[in-house]
Amino acid sequence: GQQLNQSPQSMFIQEGEDVSMNCTSSSIFNTWLWYKQDPGEGPVLLIALYKAGELTSNGRLTAQFGITRKDSFLNISASIPSDVGIYFCAGQLVDKLIFGTGTRLQVFP
């Protein structure tokens, strides 16, 4: 089945550092979304992007919809311990979402 390539697979950073992760696809998507999964919970939507080139922020999070519509990026600035979790990108394909493989983020104090 189709999945999105997400990188890096995992990250271990120190509190206060900035984080970047990305998601690429061989297919074009009209919508990109970023979700976060806290340990023991279901994924929660962070940011939704609807237009190629769009740059959207949600607090310390900033996401971009790539110009080619085949990629998206998520940046987290000044990381804090509660940023720990798994981050998933997702692209909308007609009436379904295709999810990336996830980036596991660990933040050390």
Partner 1 sequence: DADVTQTPRNRITKTGKRIMLECSQTKGHDRMYWYRQDPGLGLRLIYYSFDVKDINKGEISDGYSVSRQAQAKFSLSLESAIPNQTALYFCATSDSADTQYFGPGTRLTVL
Return all residues near 6 (Cβ < 8 A) that are at least 6 apart.
Answer: 21, 22, 23, 88, 89, 100, 101, 102, 103
The CB-of-84 to partner 1 minimum distance in angstroms stands at: 16
C-beta closer to partner 1: residue 77 or 93 = 93
C-beta closer to partner 1: residue 40 or 109 = 40
Give strand ranges (E) for 1-102.
5-7, 10-14, 19-24, 32-37, 44-49, 55-58, 61-65, 71-76, 85-93, 96-99
88, 100 contact by CB (below 8 A): yes
Using left for φ > 0, alpha for ψ between -120 and 50, and beta otherwise, residue 102 falls in: left
C-beta closer to partner 1: residue 1 or 109 = 1
The CB-of-6 to partner 1 minimum distance in angstroms stands at: 7
C-beta closer to partner 1: residue 26 or 95 = 95
State the residues that interact with partner 1 by CB under 8 A: 1-4, 6, 9, 31, 33, 40-45, 48, 88, 92, 94-97, 99-102
The CB-of-67 to partner 1 minimum distance in angstroms stands at: 20
The CB-of-33 to partner 1 minimum distance in angstroms stands at: 6
